[in-house]
Amino acid sequence: MKLRLYYDGACPFCQKYADILALKKCFTLEICDARTDLRWKDKAKNLKLDEGVILIYNESCFQGVEAINMLLGICKYKGGFFSLQIYIFSNKYLGALIYNVFKFFRKAALLFKGVKAS
């Protein structure tokens, strides 16, 4: 199974999440910086990086909470960090709340670094 996950390489939080992503143990997961690897725009023309991570899986595109849920749903990895993610993102409202908090901090970090949001 081949998946491609695009994250904002200019965001320190997104970068750290991509670095520690245990999901790589579940399947072949290519983790790409969406600012430098623009292949995602071919498949996800209507998506904006500001709305969250982008997952391309079986020619389908998922973004934000939906992308995280898709990854967590197809991976059977066990571990504390992974279990916490499943707990948070399995609840539609809690997942959306937490994800929006992360998006806020992402925008603040980009502003602090002087990087234009995309």
Splitting the chain (118 residues) into consecutive groups of 10 residues, what average pLDDT does each group show?
A: 80 71 68 89 87 88 89 74 80 89 87 79
Q: Which of 13, 2, 3, 6 is nearest to 110 (CA)?
A: 13
Predicted confidence at residue 93, as pLDDT, reads 92
Distance CA 64, CA 46 (A): 14
The CATH number given to 2-113 is 3.40.30
Predicted confidence at residue 88, as pLDDT, reads 85
Predicted confidence at residue 94, as pLDDT, reads 92
Cα 77–93–53 angle (5° rounding)? Answer: 55
Domain residue ranges of the chain, discontinuous segments joined by +? 2-113
Predicted confidence at residue 84, as pLDDT, reads 80
Predicted confidence at residue 16, as pLDDT, reads 72
Predicted confidence at residue 37, as pLDDT, reads 92
Using DSSP bridges, classify how beta strands 54-57 and 2-7 pair: parallel, antiparallel or unpaired: antiparallel
Q: Which of 2, 7, 115 is nearest to 52 (CA)?
A: 7
Predicted confidence at residue 63, as pLDDT, reads 92
Predicted confidence at residue 4, as pLDDT, reads 84
Q: Is the pTM of this model over 0.85?
A: no
Predicted confidence at residue 21, as pLDDT, reads 62
